[in-house]
Amino acid sequence: MNRRGFCINACQIASLIAVGSLLDGCSGGSPTSPSDSQPQLTTLNGVAGNNVITVNVPAGSALAAVGGAAFVNSPNGAFLVAQVSQGTINAMTAICTHEGCTINEFGNSVFQCECHGSQFSTSGAVVRGPATQPLRRFNTTFVGNVLTISL
């Protein structure tokens, strides 16, 4: 192979490597994408009325135990709920404060947004960004197996 042919082949190989690197960068592996996804939350349905959401919590559900959490779907929106101590349940909006994605993952005592990996504690505080604002909280009561979220 002559010098000119060698240079042409070397340039073509370098171009292929560069294009391959660019394609790899576009494959969803951005630095803001979560690499440590958590399990999806169990969904419970809530009933809306008189500025409250009422949710029946089955005895065997994850939310029935301290440290457990669930996703509550209701006509008035979606909520993240977690039992933080016996009979005490925190409720927050399920809408991430970063870019408005719906949060539906929970593990290691944190809620995680699957869009960009923001994590929130069971009190709604930001544990890891890119979100900088906490989740909006709502007052709750939990009596027997009925959770009431006040709007």
Whether the predicted pLDDT of 16 surpasses 80: no
d(CA 40, CA 19): 36
Please name every residue paired with 79 in a beta bridge, in sequence order, or none if there are none.
72, 93
In this prediction, residue 5 carries a pLDDT of 61
Domain at 121, CATH number: 2.102.10.10
- How is residue 101 annotated by DSSP? P
Domain hosting 81: range is 43-150
Convert the pLDDT of each residue in 56-113 to its tens digit: 999 989 899 999 999 999 999 999 999 999 989 999 999 999 989 999 999 999 999 9
Q: Could you give the 3-state DSSP secondary structure of residue 66?
A: coil
Which H helix or E strand runs over 77?
strand 77-85
Whether the predicted pLDDT of 17 surpasses 90: no
- Do 17 and 80 sit in the same domain of this protein? no
In this structure, is residue 38 part of a structural domain? Answer: no
In this prediction, residue 10 carries a pLDDT of 58
- Do 68 and 1 sit in the same domain of this protein? no
- The whole-model pTM stands at 0.75
Convert the pLDDT of each residue in 112-146 to its tens digit: 999 988 999 999 999 999 999 999 999 999 998 99
- Do 4 and 58 sit in the same domain of this protein? no
In this structure, is residue 36 part of a structural domain? Answer: no
In this prediction, residue 25 carries a pLDDT of 41
- Do 70 and 134 sit in the same domain of this protein? yes
DSSP string, 24-83: HHTSS--TTS-SS--PBPPEEE-EEETTEEEEE--TTSGGGSTT-EEEEEETTEEEEEEE
